């Protein structure tokens, strides 16, 4: 056995048995406030399957990877086609490829994404196009049984989100351009599912150097709260050596 050369390259001639069905799916979170409730929750859009494997069950938005299509572009495209949404943050989550996760073998490159509060309404129930059939928002914490291994996938995406919110600034991916510290804190509290001390939270985030105070204030029921912007000179998330590729795809926005 000395075929030491079948490496990652493509050698025309090996062909058939190396061909695999490759799909791209996206777990896309946004934040939903509930009047009355003391905590906002994470929600994600799902698509109801209308075909054979797991027909009728809800599944992550996604589709097949086109031949000459970048993978993150495929994630954006299939997400737009199925839900009309365009995320503010998109990152590869994991490649799921267990042979028994679908009747015939499918490798799914799964992305996870964040949708800013002001973007969440677009598409899905936009005033222009009528709300889509077979698409609906679900609370991330209380999902029904999903198609394929999609419950596991969402679980993993939630775990990744909770982890990453600790050491990077992705929380901003869920907020509009300007926000109060209370709103930012609400994001953290939702993701981590626990209360944070307002005083300590303020200092920590102020000292991180990622916030720029504006002149504006959010006026409401009580003392007005200063509005902040996100300092774009600091990277949103630490992607390591992959940052170039990822951020270039992130800059593309509708």
Partner DNA sequence: CCAAAAGTGTTCATGGTACACCCATGG
Partner DNA sequence: CCATGGGTGTACCATGAACACTTTTGG
Enumerate binding residues for DNA (CB under 7 A).
180-182, 197-200, 202-204, 207, 217, 219-226
Cβ neighbors of 90 (< 8 A, separation 6 or more) are 26, 72, 75, 76, 111, 112, 113, 246, 249, 250
Q: Which stretch binds a second copy (CB under 8 A): 46-54, 117-125, 201-209, 214-222?
A: 46-54
* Cβ atoms of 110 and 95 closer than 8 Å: yes
Residues numbered 122 to 151 that lie near a second copy (CB under 8 A) are 132, 134-135, 147-148, 150
Residues numbered 2 to 21 that lie near a second copy (CB under 8 A) are 3-12, 14, 17-21
Enter the tokens of residue 64.
Answer: 């097949």
Enclosing H/E stretch for 234: none
- Is 164 among the residues that bind a second copy (CB under 8 A)? no
Q: Rank residues 139 and 197 by Cβ distance to DNA and give the closer one.
A: 197
Q: Minimum Å distance from CB 111 to a second copy? A: 10
* Cβ atoms of 171 and 89 closer than 8 Å: no
Q: How far apart are CA 169 and CA 92, in angstroms?
A: 17
- Is 241 among the residues that bind a second copy (CB under 8 A)? yes
- Is 63 among the residues that bind a second copy (CB under 8 A)? yes
Strands, sheet with 178-180, edge to edge from the N-terminal-most edge strand: 178-180, 225-230, 211-218
Q: Minimum Å distance from CB 65 to DNA? A: 40
Q: How far apart are CA 187 and CA 137, in angstroms?
A: 18
User: What does 224 interact with, of DNA, a second copy, none (CB < 5 to 8 A by kind)?
Assistant: DNA
Q: Which stretch binds a second copy (CB under 8 A): 101-109, 113-121, 136-144, 202-210?
A: 101-109
In the chain, the N- to C-terminal Cα span, in Å, equals 52
Q: Rank residues 70 and 206 by Cβ distance to a second copy and give the closer one.
A: 70
User: What does 144 interact with, of DNA, a second copy, none (CB < 5 to 8 A by kind)?
Assistant: none
- Is 33 among the residues that bind a second copy (CB under 8 A)? no
- Is 23 among the residues that bind a second copy (CB under 8 A)? yes
Q: Rank residues 115 and 161 by Cβ distance to a second copy and give the closer one.
A: 161
User: How many CA atoms does the CB half-sphere of 26 hold within 13 Å?
Assistant: 33
Enter the tokens of residue 17.
Answer: 């048995």
User: What does 197 interact with, of DNA, a second copy, none (CB < 5 to 8 A by kind)?
Assistant: DNA
* Cβ atoms of 23 and 109 closer than 8 Å: yes
Q: Rank residues 162 and 203 by Cβ distance to DNA and give the closer one.
A: 203
- Is 193 among the residues that bind a second copy (CB under 8 A)? no
Q: Minimum Å distance from CB 169 to DNA? A: 13
Enclosing H/E stretch for 108: strand 106-114
């Amino acid at each position: 056995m000395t075929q030491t050369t079948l490496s990652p390259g493509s050698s025309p001639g090996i062909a058939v048995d190396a061909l695999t069905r490759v799909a791209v799916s996206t777990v896309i979170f946004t934040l939903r406030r509930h009047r009355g409730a003391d905590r906002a929750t994470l929600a994600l859009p799902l698509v109801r399957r209308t075909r054979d494997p797991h027909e009728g069950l809800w599944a992550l938005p996604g589709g097949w990877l086109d031949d000459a299509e970048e993978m993150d572009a495929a994630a954006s495209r299939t997400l737009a086609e199925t839900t009309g949404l365009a995320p503010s943050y998109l990152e590869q989550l994991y490649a799921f490829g267990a042979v028994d996760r679908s009747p015939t073998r499918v490798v799914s490159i799964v992305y996870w994404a964040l949708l800013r509060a002001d973007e969440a309404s677009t598409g899905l129930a936009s005033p222009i196009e009528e709300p889509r059939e077979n698409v609906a928002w679900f609370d991330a914490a209380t999902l029904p049984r999903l198609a394929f291994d999609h419950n596991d996938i969402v679980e993993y995406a939630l775990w990744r989100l909770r982890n990453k919110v600790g050491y990077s600034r992705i929380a901003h991916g869920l907020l509009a351009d300007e926000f109060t510290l209370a709103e930012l804190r609400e994001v953290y509290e939702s993701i981590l599912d626990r209360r944070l001390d307002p005083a300590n939270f303020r200092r920590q985030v102020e000292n991180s150097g990622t916030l720029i105070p504006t002149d504006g204030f959010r006026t409401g029921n009580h003392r007005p709260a200063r509005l902040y912007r996100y300092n774009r000179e600091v990277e949103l998330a630490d992607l390591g050596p992959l940052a170039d590729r990822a951020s270039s795809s992130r800059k593309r926005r509708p």
